Structure 1
Amino acid sequence: MAPPMVLLDREVELCDEEAGICEGPIRSSWGGLPARRSAKGQEKLSDAVAEYLQTFKAQPLVADPPELSSLNIRPPKSAPVPPTSGLESGRISSADKHLVALYAGGYRPGYSLPGSYLIYDASKDSISAIPCIPPDTCRTRAMGYQSAVVMCGATGEGGYLLAELVWVCPQDSQAALWLWESSAKQWVVKLRDLPLPPGTTAFNFSVHSCFSFGGSFLCWVDLHRGMLLCDLRKDCNFSFIELPQGPPNYDASDYPHGPCAEEFRSVACVHGSVKFLAFNKFVEREPRETFGLAVWTLSPDHSVWSRSYKCSVGDIWANANYQSAGLGQLAPSFPVLSIHQDGVVYLVVNDTSVVGRRLVFKDQYLLRVDMGNNNDVQVYQQKTTRIYSQLFASEFSAHRRQEHPREMESSEFGASGKRMKA
């Protein structure tokens, strides 16, 4: 029986290394210079890339958390490759029920790297490619590393909506909301002034995560600043929601090499309710409050947060399962909320030691902490892939069609995560 939820690395392979089918030796990344091609030339390239990506097939590896699953997407051997490179990897942006939305290649709105949007449909085990948003008359800039939101059922039975929110330059608070309906198969745009708090502009509001919920709400989250909600039922009206702990007690823009927000904060929709999780390490703690984490729940009218769970890191260290694993007092990071079990959170811990003046990595572990069950802890040694960033939770595994081929077992893979040869 497939697990109701899986944990994924956001980075996805778009090449078949064993078969030698790969776009290039360099893993693509986004950034670079804004696009300089003509609108017609860029649109032609975008269509060619989308047509090429439409031929790809998904090869998911599903495992019970806290073991990691993977969503590998492979090209067919006979597919004609478009005249570009940098399509050997992708990145998951959001998911809803049986759908997962990805960026293929290094594409982000307003930048020159090639790519497209991909939608993986677990119920059909299929891949759909969506072309880039059309070049606009106004200069646009990506709102974050992942800001494309997918919503199931938004256009009727079996349909979906993909939404991309981008900044319109040089205005500080105006954005363009691009919407793709699967039934219409075309992009439409709506310009909106975002209700950002004073001092928050396009230059210091950046999306860390995004999701849809409630059948009509799209949400983009800056884990330092707050959340932008878009209500589709009210002509895409936007509202801003502050986070319950407020901003960290340091300005992230002043410390580009400091801790990233995903190391100590997380947000997700759990059973229809928006949940926010945070460590209190980078905000002012209450008197006599120890280092720990807490989960808040947003009220149905989106007006107030209430604290649902609280756990000290000391409670985790004192747990019998944690101690039996032989771990010391290691600081957890990269929290991920379970999207189907209220109060359950997954944490990453790195076991390191100092040799001379060097920090030596020994092992990495994933912890499953049930904050609703006396902070029960389960410990899993991470043997396949080193985790460097926050994981992504999806329930696509529960919607996979039953006639798919046998799932590949994790024992078939070596330490690199690749299939082991007999």
Structure 2
Amino acid sequence: MSVPFVDSMCWIDIPSFPVDYLVYSCYSSSSSSSSPPSLTVLPPFFDGGRTDPSDKYFQPYRRQHQRIMFNHNMGILCHGDNGEFTVGDITYRYDQEVDLCLLHHPPPAGTPPKWSVNRLQIPPEMKIDLYSWKTDLVVPIGRSLCWVDYYQGILLIDVVADSQGSPIQQQLHYVRLPSQALKSRRLYIDPGAPDPFRRVCVTDAGIIKLVCILTKYPPPDDEFTIITWTLVDINQGSWRKDVDTIVGADEFFGLCKAAKSCLPRVRPSFPVVSLVDPDVICFLLKEKGRNLSWMVEVNMRNKVLQSSAIYINEEEEEGPPSEKDRRNTFFGHSFIPTKFSSYLAEDAITSRKLSETMQKDKKERMMQKDKEERAMQKLKRKPKPKE
């Protein structure tokens, strides 16, 4: 989580102002004790930022140029039994090199927390095209942080080795995507927006899955195929296509119809694999004409629609905002697999009942509105009496 300004809509030269990075820990435990939730503020990092002689008059932050670290290039890895974590950031260079910035928490005894920078050389045999590389996602796997390009592969770096004094250059590993996935080109989307048709997920058991919604361009709503691969050997970089879980457009819409749901017939997007069951994937169904969004959970192996939920806007839950309040706009691509809800056990049942009630009310309003619109269409089509 980064907090650059009070007004997030104000475009200012960000490196010239303080950017606070914070890590929220829901719960940390050890064999002997447990601690409540905590919020850790990471120290600022100026190595690599543009220097200015006048900075000394504006300590500690103002007009100092921090090193630019974009959110989509940053990842966090939790390890150990006492709330330890490592934050990593990568800056790509154009001479087959990357700058890896790391911060370990807690720091070694007797030293303040600080960032470190390691320049890593990408071996030619990895065949990584840094000129066209785009980090779509950063995920933790084991001791590594993994930078994922949905159209090239996965770059794994053992970030724990750095805290133990090991040569981190030896901990660099690359996994290319399956050959079929490499045949598709990246679709044009707005800069900074995530890819709606691909996702790499890691289950709670450590299974790495690649989900691709293969479609034509421009992507039609009724022509697509959902294919998943499982990384069976991370060292050899070998993938296995899950042939029993392939689902085409007709079959996908058939699942929705079989469940007797009122889901829109639109192309699914932003897939997320379940942490518990690697055969279960959540998709977003976005009906643009009515500004409605649904989350559906599909068992790809059993070919069953397990559940569906309509998105409830903030205004529907909390009422109209005041003039000073700012509402978050829902774009439909902010879902992540997480155990966060397991830490909310005290109010989980109440929250779920409230959600189910609000969804039921919204569905009834939708059905009533559809009924009224159909009635209006019938009146328009009714022939006028002859005079």
Both proteins in one fold, TM over 0.5: yes
The one of 246, 254, 258 aligned to 1:310: 246
Judged with a 3 Å threshold, the aligned counterparts in structure 2 of structure 1 residues 28 and 223 are, in CA distance, closer, same or farther, namely: farther
| Structure whose residues are more often strand by fraction | 1
Residue matched to 1:162:
86
Residue matched to 1:278:
212
Moved over 4 A (4+): 137-141, 168-172, 195-199, 258-261, 320-323, 404-408, 410-415
Cα distance between partner residues in 2 of 1:337 and 1:363: 22
Judged with a 3 Å threshold, the aligned counterparts in structure 2 of structure 1 residues 323 and 293 are, in CA distance, closer, same or farther, namely: same
Structure 2: gaps of 5 or more residues: 29-34, 51-66, 218-222, 315-329, 359-387
Cα distance between partner residues in 2 of 1:269 and 1:342: 9
Per-residue CA deviation, residues 294-336 of structure 1 (Å, 9 max, x unaligned), is 2211123432000123222321201255662233431111111
2:225 partner amino acid: G
The one of 230, 233, 239 aligned to 1:300: 233
Cα distance between partner residues in 1 of 2:312 and 2:38: 29
The one of 201, 220, 226 aligned to 1:268: 201
Per-residue CA deviation, residues 347-402 of structure 1 (Å, 9 max, x unaligned), is 011224xxxxxxx325221110111223434322222464432411112333x387
Task: Kindly tell me the number of residue pairs found equivalent between the two proteins.
Answer: 301
Residue matched to 2:190:
257
SS of 1:219's equivalent? strand
The one of 329, 333, 350 aligned to 2:286: 350
The one of 211, 221, 224 aligned to 2:139: 211
SS of 1:317's equivalent? helix
Residue matched to 1:114:
19
Cα distance between partner residues in 2 of 1:131 and 1:393: 24
Residue matched to 1:103:
none
- What percentage of residue pairs aligned between the two structures are identical? 15
Residue matched to 1:126:
37
Judged with a 3 Å threshold, the aligned counterparts in structure 2 of structure 1 residues 114 and 370 are, in CA distance, closer, same or farther, namely: same
Given that 1:317 and 1:329 are in contact with CA atoms closer than 8 Å, whether structure 2 keeps it comes out as yes
Cα distance between partner residues in 2 of 1:168 and 1:330: 37
SS of 1:329's equivalent? coil
- TM-score w.r.t. structure 2 length? 0.65
Residue matched to 1:396:
340
Cα distance between partner residues in 2 of 1:32 and 1:205: 27
Residue matched to 1:369:
298
Given that 1:327 and 1:351 are in contact with CA atoms closer than 8 Å, whether structure 2 keeps it comes out as no
Given that 2:72 and 2:135 are in contact with CA atoms closer than 8 Å, whether structure 1 keeps it comes out as yes
Greater RCO structure (CA 8 Å; 6+ sep): 1
The one of 139, 150, 156 aligned to 2:77: 150
Deviation of the 1:165 alpha carbon: 2.0
Judged with a 3 Å threshold, the aligned counterparts in structure 2 of structure 1 residues 328 and 258 are, in CA distance, closer, same or farther, namely: farther
Structure 1: gaps of 5 or more residues: 1-10, 15-22, 37-111, 284-289, 353-359, 416-422
| Structure whose residues are more often helix by fraction | 2
Cα distance between partner residues in 2 of 1:241 and 1:272: 16
Judged with a 3 Å threshold, the aligned counterparts in structure 2 of structure 1 residues 208 and 158 are, in CA distance, closer, same or farther, namely: same
Cα distance between partner residues in 2 of 1:257 and 1:406: 36
Given that 1:363 and 1:382 are in contact with CA atoms closer than 8 Å, whether structure 2 keeps it comes out as yes
Given that 1:119 and 1:129 are in contact with CA atoms closer than 8 Å, whether structure 2 keeps it comes out as yes
The one of 380, 396, 413 aligned to 2:309: 380
Deviation of the 1:273 alpha carbon: 1.7
